[in-house]
Structure 1
């Protein structure tokens, strides 16, 4: 096929309608390719955003859990400290704590076992 057959009609005129159809077809193909490329870019960007969000949420969750553990440990330490202070205060006034009572009973049992208690 020669260029003359592509562009000329049988009457010898330039086939503008055919040229326009070919241009329109080529433009449509290019537009479709651009759309596919943009869709591919959009899908990749969405996946990257989703992955980044998941990673960020995992980091936040991990930090929150770590802070909750730290808080629980600190609360427990403060409770023990407060209990020890209260028990020490009452021990100094002659009121025995549960720990002191347990120790007294253990010593008493030990002395009984050795036969050193008064009966």
Structure 2
């Protein structure tokens, strides 16, 4: 068990954290409490070796747990848990992908 998986275990003290490898080089993280699956999430394997990525995963899972338990509502002191960051499947932010796509379309019309 490496340092980041210890951080994941310490971040959720009431849960048993299980990490299982997947064939697509990702990891299935399952949080269990009293033999019932509370939440499971597929994470990148890099998150286990990068503390910054692990912190982001911890933040997302804590937010998901709060949403599931009903402890998170809009326009309350806890609304800092709600992120305005859009999920992307690219390493670049979304606006950079839009610029590249528009530029590519413009160049294809000129040809």
Compute the TM-score of the two structures, normalised by the length of structure 2: 0.24
When you count helix as a share of all residues, which structure comes out higher?
A: 1
When you count strand as a share of all residues, which structure comes out higher?
A: 2
Compute the TM-score of the two structures, normalised by the length of structure 1: 0.23
Select the structure with the greater relative contact order (CA < 8 A; seq sep ≥ 6).
Answer: 2
Larger radius of gyration: 1
